[in-house]
Structure formats: structure tokens, C-alpha cells
Copies of this chain bind each other. A is one copy, B any other.
Amino acid sequence: MKATIITIGDEILIGQILDTNSRYISRALNTHGIVVAERTSIGDNRQQIIDTLDRALAQSEVVIITGGLGPTKDDITKHTLCDYFGSTLRYDKIEAEHIRTMLERRNIAFNELNRSQAMVPECCTVLHNAHGTAPGMWFEREGRVVVSLPGVPFEMQHLIDDEVIPRLCKRFELREIVHRTMITFGIAESILAEKIASWEDALPDHIHLAYLPAPNVVRLRLSAYEVEGKEVSREIDMLFDKLRTIIPDNIAGFEDASVEELVHNILINRGQTLAVAESCTGGTIASKFTAQAGASAYFLCGVVSYSNESKCNVLGVPMSDIEQHGAVSEEVAKAMAQGAKVISGSNFAISTTGIAGPTGGSKEKPVGTVWIGVATPDKCFAVRKDCGTDRSQIISRASAYAIAMLYEELK
């Protein structure tokens, strides 16, 4: 069973917004055994919508469309679909009442434009959008399904989970897709590929290997499409067992766990706690840990000590260290980690202090220089890392290094 995802909106094509909807829909379809053959983003253009829909229906049984359902003139998806399926618009009283109620709660008057949102093609099944004012639509033609959803991510997500997936599972006999990922650590992609070459060559035809490299980490994903799920999962378990004997020291975990998830699990299991002191990473490390449900079990406190005064007053870094060595130094990184550990009473602490740029660099400490501190129950040290040249890259790399250094200590 194949699907095509079409996201509509000029704002995507000009790069004004990032298309996160395609990823969400891809995951949901994959989880339920539907293979995404292609994802396409096009503009709010009638002829392009029609051509793309023709092509999508020729190559897949399911087409999911998002975007272009708003109340304003630039949104043309509904009218185009209505014509495409040779239908006419009707006024849906239930949807109209829902829209009116939603607007009233926000003290907004129901006007002619909102009224037009309650107009739906005669031939479609209305998918109730409990969280927004644009209803979803389900069309069928010659055994194929076309679904149109609003582009607002939150509304789209609820419609996918609550309406589209359950209906697809009922409508089609779906087989299973299995993806399993092993995370390797501390081995370069090309060296890894060389080491596991004979294992890779012996993979059965229905199981595909993909390499997904990232800084310090290479993920190995095994995928099997439209198979008997349980049986193939057992097969993959055995393949991973064999892999474990080839690279025993390089396996960091399984599935798509990030390094912060690995740390999260270790700390929860051991009942140990963490604090963070950030300068150049500005809260990014804290937000990565606290984004995970259950983080409050171990994450005690983060301090974003951007000013020198806050490094001293809040974390207790000696002003003399800053004056003598500079804020970006081994001494200050260590004092920050130690300070975070002390004020929070945590078992572990990590710190970052660096030059995120674009200004503030010098010959000895160019932009990208970051000192990362780690305090454990029995030691405290800091390491200097070169984290690149671009501000967002420096913040993200320094965060990744700090979390990876903590992970190494916990392992």
C-alpha cells in the first residue's frame, strides 16, 4: 500500500516556513504499514494542484494533502478539490455551529468568511476538526483515497491520529513496516562500513540497511516493508545480536534515542540527579533534557549565566578567575559546573562557556571556542572544543558535546 503526501502553500516553496507536517504524516503512515512513495510541496496554484493529484493517484492508493484550507482568498485547495471530484459545495450546519462556538470562546464574531469554512463538497466525508475551524475532507475514487487536511500542525496532527489513521486501517488491509535502529558511537562511517561489510552483504533481500551519520554517532537502520511484523522483528533481533559481536565497544543504544534520552534513562534508573550551567549554549542543554517527560525526576536546576555577574552571584564562580583567565576558560568552565552542582545539590553537572559569535572572538579564542565542564560525584574537569563558525551551529555542537561528555562519564 503506497501513499503520496502533498503539502500546499507558497510559504513552503519560498522557505518562509519549515514543513514539519510531512514528517508527522510520514511517521504515522509508516507506523501503520503504509509506504510513503513520495512527498511533494507545491504552491497555491490550481493547475499545479490538479497535475500533482493526477500523478499521485497514478502511483499510490492513498493521497494526503495539507494546507490551503483557511478562510482567506489565497486558500484555494477546497474549491480545487471540489471541482476535481466534480462536486458542488454544501453548507454543513454541524461544522458551522462548531466554528461559531470556537470563535465565540475567543470573542471573535462569526462572519461571512467563517461561514465559507463550513461549506464542504457534497461528495466528501467531513472529518471533524475539533481543534480548529477548517474541517478535514475524505474523498474516494476508484478504490483510492484522497484526504485534505488543514496546514496548522496541531490541527493536522489531531485529524491524522483521530480520524485519518483509524479510517485507513478500517478501509484497507494493511501489512506491516518494520524499522529498527542501532546507534553506534565513536566510529567513523567509512570505518564502520568496512568492519561490518560481510554482515551487510549477508543481509536477506527483504531487509534494507541505511547509514545515518551525525557528529560522533552513526545510526544503522534496518527496514523491511509490508511484511509479517513479528517474524521480521525476530529476524532483525538476531541480525543485531550478530552485529554486537563485531562492534561490541561501539553500541550506544537502540532505536532513535538521542544521547540526551540515553542520559535521561540512566539517571532515572540510578536515581541520580543533574544540574546545568550554560553560558554560550543559552538554555539549549536544559531545554533538551526538560523536553523529555519525567525529567523532573533528575533535572534539578539549570542556570543560564550569560553575564559575568550572574556567573559569580548565582553560581559562585570567583570573579578573580574571570579576571585572570577570561570568562571562556578551563577555570571558569570547571567553576560553573562545580557551582551548579553545589547550589542544586545534584550528583552531576555540566557547563558550557564559549564564544558563539559572530563577534567577540580573538586570535587565541576565535569564535567557536567552547570550554565544556563536567562535575561528577568525585571529579571535575573541562575540555576545550572547537564548535564551528556559525552561531546556531556552535550552540548546537557545544550542547551535543556537553551531553556526550556526560554520557561518557555515566556509561
| A11 CB-CB contact with B under 8 Å | yes
Q: Indicate whether A309 sits within 8 Å of B345 (C-beta atoms), given known contacts A72-B189, A293-B358, A357-B293.
A: yes
Chain B residues near A12 (CB-CB < 8 A): 23, 26, 39
Interface: A202 (CB within 8 A)? no
Indicate if A324 sits at the interface (CB-CB under 8 A).
Answer: no
- Cβ-neighbour of A304 out of B15, B22, B286 (below 8 A): B286
Contact, CB under 8 Å: A109 / B310: no
With the chains together, A281 CA to B14 CA distance in Å? 31
Q: Is the CB of A190 within 8 A of B16?
A: no
Which stretch from A207-215, A231-239, A244-252, A371-379 is at the chain B interface?
Answer: A207-215
Question: Chain A interface mostly helix, strand, loop or mixed?
Answer: mixed
Residues from chain B with a CB closer than 8 A to the CB of A36 are 13-15
Q: Is the CB of B300 within 8 A of A72?
A: no
Interface positions, chain A 8-58, Cβ under 8 Å from B, are 10-20, 22-28, 30, 36-44, 48, 52
Give the CA-CA distance A289 to B287 in the complex, in Å: 13
Shortest distance from the beta carbon of A260 to any chain B beta carbon, whole Å: 12
CB distance from A11 to the nearest CB of B (A): 6
Residue picked from A52, A223, A296, most chain B C-beta under 10 Å: A296
Say whether, besides A190-B114, A286-B304, A293-B391, A22 and B41 are in contact (CB < 8 Å): yes
B304→A188 contact, CB < 8 A? no
A191 close to B (CB within 8 Å) = yes
A283–B293 touching, CB < 8 Å? no
Contact of A283 among B11, B28, B290 (CB under 8 A): B290
Contact of A200 among B43, B73, B314 (CB under 8 A): B73
Contact with B along A313-349 (1 / 0, CB 8 A): 1100000000000000000000000000001110000
Closest to A256 in B: B16
Query: Does A241 sit within 8 A of B, measured CB to CB?
Result: no
Query: How many residues on the A side are at the interface (Cβ–Cβ under 8 A)?
Result: 108
Q: Are B314 and A343 in contact (CB under 8 A)?
A: yes
Are A109 and B300 within 8 A (Cβ)? no
Q: Smallest CB-CB separation from A357: which chain B residue?
A: B293
Find chain B residues with CB under 8 A from A19 CB. Answer: 19, 22-23
Q: A357 vs B18: C-alpha distance in the bound complex, in angstroms?
A: 26
Contacts of A306 in B (CB 8 A): 290, 295-296, 299-302
Task: Please encode chain A, from 64 to 95, with 1 for each CB lying within 8 Å of some chain B CB and 0 for all others.
Answer: 00000011111100000000000000000000
Q: Which residues of B contact A307 (CB under 8 A)?
A: 296, 299-301, 344
| Chain A contacts to B: CB under 8 angstroms | 10-20, 22-28, 30, 36-44, 48, 52, 70-75, 103, 106, 108-109, 111-114, 152, 154, 177, 179, 181, 188-191, 193-194, 200, 208-213, 221, 223, 256, 276, 278, 281-287, 289-291, 293-296, 299-307, 309-310, 313-314, 343-345, 356-360, 388, 390-393, 395
- Could you jot down 14 A-B contacts, CB within 8 Å? A14-B179, A22-B41, A37-B43, A40-B41, A73-B209, A75-B211, A276-B304, A282-B295, A283-B285, A283-B287, A291-B392, A301-B310, A302-B302, A304-B304
